[in-house]
Amino acid sequence: MSATIGSFHNHPGYCDGSGSIEAYAEAALAAGLRSLGLSSHAPVPFACSWTMPLERLPAYCADVRAAQVAYQGRLRLWLGLELDYLSPALIPEGSAFQRERILVHRPEYLVVSVHFVGRDPAGLPWTMDESAESFARQLDAVYRGDARRLVEDYYRLLVEMALVVPGWGLPAIAGHIDKIKMWNAGGRYFAEDAPWYLAAVEKALRAIQAAGLVVEVNTAGLRRGIGEPYPGPRVLHRCKALGIPVTLSSDAHRPEDLIAGFAEAAAHLREAGYQEIVTLEEGGWTRHPLP
């Protein structure tokens, strides 16, 4: 793997991830990377089992900054966060919380993702990627089996997210943009070539393009069941047609997965017509030939 490649979506052990920052840095050096982005799940203003507790955020930021100094000249470490899009309709205080309690810690970049799509039957924010059982329950209990409505809700939130992210003024990667297909192996719930599905994706992509976001090719889907990255080949082709820049990510929750699936994801990119990917450098997103 080329030394020009960085990896920017990684979860050390401050949220539901594991491993120290140093363990990720050593894995990055061993893989020949020049850049490593840490992106623990940012705290949210309600109880959540997989995000970082708000009390840990100062230590996380301090630890990444200390590692930046320790690895200076060998590896550029980036202080990032995977920040949820919290729709005002779902979490009215979410935007102020993120501005006043999270972004004040001055992360250098963000992975911005939609995980919370509406409320579960108990009235709590519902996470779309928690489990197959949770997805089936939500679809049945809240959407009365109408998968199209659930999926359209997800992509509508991506559009909303793309509208607000530029206001944060940070380099941002749109995280796992078609992850709503996670439990849809074999087209179990909906057809990913249905006109309504493609139209929902297209609206999200156009909003992402207009916002100047980078799309990641997230290889977690290759490791967990669905057999293709997020986004998959069809969506990647549309990204290419719209001129959206892309980067490779593994969404590692342990250091061993830092560049897992990168070769396969690069092949998907080439197939979609991409010849370059971007990595974060001092001047912003910088293009490099696809490895």
Site residues for Zn ion per CB under 5 A: 82, 113, 175, 251
Q: Which is nearer to Zn ion, 37 or 245 (CB)?
A: 37
Cβ nearer to Zn ion, comparing 7 with 282: 7
Q: Which helix (H) or strand (E) holds 13?
A: none
Peptide bond into 231 cis (omega under 30): yes
Q: Which is nearer to Zn ion, 138 or 218 (CB)?
A: 218
In the bound state with Zn ion, the residue whose beta carbon lies nearer, of 193 and 213, is 213
Q: Which residue, 84 or 153, is less far from Zn ion as judged by CB?
A: 84
Q: How far is the CB of 13 from Zn ion (least distance, A)?
A: 14
Q: Which is nearer to Zn ion, 82 or 257 (CB)?
A: 82
Shortest Cβ 204–Zn ion spacing (Å):
16
Distance between CA 200 and CA 151 in Å, rounded? 8
Q: How far is the CB of 139 from Zn ion (least distance, A)?
A: 20
Residues 8-27 as b/e (b if ≥16 CB within 10 A, e otherwise) read bbbbbbbbebebebebbbbb
Contact at 8 Å (CB) between 269 and 277? yes
- Least Cβ distance, residue 248 to Zn ion (angstroms): 14
59 closest CA partner among 9, 105, 108: 105
Edge-first strand order for the sheet with 246-249 is 6-7, 35-41, 76-84, 109-113, 172-174, 214-218, 246-249
Instruction: Output the DSSP codes for 200-255.
Output: HHHHHHHHHHHHTPEEEEETHHHHSSSSS-BS-HHHHHHHHHTT--EEEE--BSSG
Shortest Å, Cβ 72 to Zn ion: 26
Q: How many CB atoms lie within 10 A of CB 278?
A: 20
Which lies closer to Zn ion via its Cβ, residue 77 or residue 283?
77
Q: How far is the CB of 61 from Zn ion (least distance, A)?
A: 18
Whose tokens are 């089992």? That residue is 49
Q: Which is nearer to Zn ion, 113 or 219 (CB)?
A: 113
- Element (DSSP H or E) covering residue 284: strand 284-289
CB of 218 to Zn ion, least distance (A): 8
Nearest-approach distance from CB 69 to Zn ion, in angstroms: 25
Rounded Cα distance between 107 and 39, Å, is 9
Report the alpha-carbon distance of residue 280 to residue 10 in Å, rounded: 14
DSSP lists the bridge partners of residue 77 as 36
